[in-house]
Amino acid sequence: EIVLTQSPGTLSLSPGEGVTLSCRASQRVRSNYLAWYQQKPGQAPRLLIYGASYRATGIPDRFSGSGSGTDFTLTISRLEPDDFRVYYCQQYGSPPYTFGQGTKLEIK
Amino acid sequence: EVQLVESGGGVVRPGGSLRLSCAASGFTFDDYGMSWVRQGPGKGLEWVSNINWNGGSTGYADSVKGRFTISRDNAKNSLYLQMNSLRAEDTAFYFCARGTVVGDYWGQGTLVTVSS
């Protein structure tokens, strides 16, 4: 099973700032099959990025993904108030399709 | 508009059973594989099971293998999860998602609580 470790656990930032979230895999993610989701507590996750760097339908270009192998990042530029949520990475290259433990963005 | 609506959650005793349903609309259901993902209270996401477009291929997390069964009825645009031998650690919100490995649309979830 591939273990995904996200860092940091929580980030305190201000609207307008930019941020880069990290997701590190315990072994290589096949074909860079890595996705990022955003979730507000009590709501369904929302797909942001798939294939490490491809934005899902309707996702603004403030969100970008990069990385390969075992190290992946999600970058959000110009944070808006609605961006302060929990972000999860997921690998889907090898079953079981594991998720990271999440990074919470909170308003400073 | 794509919509996924889960139902069937509730409170059940350890060892009991529940059947979850997910009603799909707004897309051609049998063009897509589907998945179930769960989230324990205050916890992260855990992939549970998936099924291909016609039900001919299924997958399960080790934690539920042998206890849970995923199925679908394309004529009814519905996805199911039969959960048997439930344990306290199965307590979670259960989400259905469109896609076999990546969920591009998700339902709002249904809560399953396993407690004596």
pLDDT at B104: 94
The predicted structure's pLDDT at residue B42: 87
pLDDT at position A4 is 98
Q: How far apart are CA A45 and CA A22, in angstroms?
A: 18
Read off the pLDDT of residues B7-61 as tens digits, 9 standing for 90 and up: 999 999 999 999 999 999 999 999 999 999 999 988 999 999 999 999 999 999 9
Is there a contact between A56 and B104 if contact means CB atoms under 8 Å apart? yes
Q: Which two three-digit tokens encode residue A24? A: 């590190």
Return the biggest CA–CA distance within chain A. 38
Average pLDDT value for residue range B52-76: 97
Residues in chain B closer than 8 A to A101 (CB atoms): 44
Q: Which chain B residues are within 8 Å of A98, Cβ to Cβ?
A: 47
Sequence-distant (6+) residues with CB within 8 A of B57 are B51
Q: How many CA atoms lie within 13 A of A57 on its CB side?
A: 4
Residue with tokens 């996705």: A35
Phi/psi for B99 (5° steps) reads 120, 150
DSSP 8-class letter at B26: S
